[in-house]
Amino acid sequence: MLSRLIEMVSYILAKSLERDDDDWMMLRRELTEQLEGRGFIDQEIDVAFEVANRIRSRIEDGATMPFPFKTNRVYQFLEQLKLTPGARGYLAKLLHTGAITHQQREEAVERAFFLEEQEVDEVDMQYIVNMILGGDGWFGEDSPNMSYTLQ
């Protein structure tokens, strides 16, 4: 799923920087139609535009990144944008103690991208991890296997 997000963000940034338009809404409408034609769904497109907009605003502001771009983790930049340090630390602690696997960590990050909040904090991440460990449930659904012991 994140590879699809990266593909869309790259496409959106390339087109927006190529055109250098100030009319973001008109560009968004045009690119949304093109992305839908390629099989992407509205929710994915919304997340991609949010990420692309934040990246573009940082480029335009000339802000320096507080971390290096040379990394072994492909999605580190996107995680830095969406997850607070507390949320990232919480995931690192769970991974280090063996409470979650690398795949579960990546699933938690993917799910965080679909939350409407500007940033996902530790409490939100605890909820996401509990939903993943609980099994079948997702937001708004109760899972009888849900474990609250990780909090």
Q: Which of 134, 94, 131, 98 lies closest to 115, judged by CA? A: 131
Of the chain, the percentage scoring pLDDT greater than 70 comes to 73
- Which helix (H) or strand (E) segment holds residue 121: the answer is none
The whole-model pTM stands at: 0.50
How many helices (H) and strands (E) the chain has is answered by: 7, 0
Tell me the per-residue pLDDT of 108-138, one tens digit each, with 9 for 90 and over: 988 888 887 888 999 999 999 999 988 554 4
> Residue 38: exposed, middle, or buried by beta-carbon count in 10 A (0-12, 13-18, 19+)?
exposed
Plot region of 116 (φ>0 → left; ψ -120 to 50 → alpha; else → beta): alpha
How wide is the angle at C-alpha 86 spanned by C-alphas 81 and 88, nearest 5°?
60
Tell me the per-residue pLDDT of 52-80, one tens digit each, with 9 for 90 and over: 877 777 766 665 555 444 444 445 777 87
Q: How confident is the model over 137-142, as a mean pLDDT?
A: 44
